[in-house]
A = this chain, B = another copy of it.
């Protein structure tokens, strides 16, 4: 939200701004926060200077770019918290966060603070963690969640989830789903079982991966 209360942007400027945000969603979503600003500019069909005029620093662009996903994430958490079945809510919130992260590497990076100084997704994380803590309490009492689960375990598996990011998008989404299922399986109180989603083929992805 870069303050444009001052003057209602000129038409071409508004246009470019929109195209930049579109490009940013695509580029950062696909390549992660490491993607160069120039790439966004190129894809938006504008010069670097234009991009930097609209978003003085990379962090500004990122904040704006992922505002939508942040909202989706908050909503998911709120709804999960309202779920009468705490175990279902718990599972759902894990699945949804993983899904969001799989669909946008950039959002995953930002949410997990790969660039800590960049922005304060800390608030979102805090909220999610508190919600999960509450869900976990209830799910454990309901006997569905394993008793030795602690909230840090969610952080653990979400941090680990980032390891799946360096993978082509299609494989990534499938991998993410199966991963989430395994995580839920691991967190489940011993007893009941449910089938996993289909396996993801990843052996090929290993040799063709990006750096960071």
Residues of A within 8 A of B (CB): 34, 112-116, 122, 125, 129, 148, 150-153, 155-157, 159-167, 175, 178-179, 182-183, 185-187, 190-191, 193, 195-196, 199-203, 205-209, 211-212
Whether B178 lies near A156 (C-beta < 8 A) is yes
Given contacts A112-B163, A160-B163, 10 further A-B contacts (CB under 8 A): A34-B211, A114-B212, A116-B209, A122-B207, A148-B199, A152-B201, A159-B163, A159-B175, A185-B185, A212-B212
Whether B186 lies near A160 (C-beta < 8 A) is no
Whether A152 lies near B200 (C-beta < 8 A) is yes
A210 CA to B86 CA, complexed, in Å: 34
A32 CA to B55 CA, complexed, in Å: 32
What is the count of identical protomers in the complex?
A: 2
Knowing A160-B160, A211-B212, the reply to whether A112 touches B155 (Cβ < 8 A) is no
* Complex contacts, A125 vs chain B, CB 8 Å: 206
**Which chain B residue shows the least CB distance to A33?**
B211
* Complex contacts, A179 vs chain B, CB 8 Å: 156-157, 160
A-B contact pairs, 8 of them (CB 8 A): A34-B212, A113-B206, A114-B209, A122-B206, A153-B178, A156-B178, A157-B182, A182-B186
Whether A167 lies near B178 (C-beta < 8 A) is no
Closest Cβ of chain B: how far from A94's Cβ, in Å?
13
**Which chain B residue shows the least CB distance to A162?**
B163
Knowing A114-B211, A116-B208, the reply to whether A203 touches B155 (Cβ < 8 A) is yes
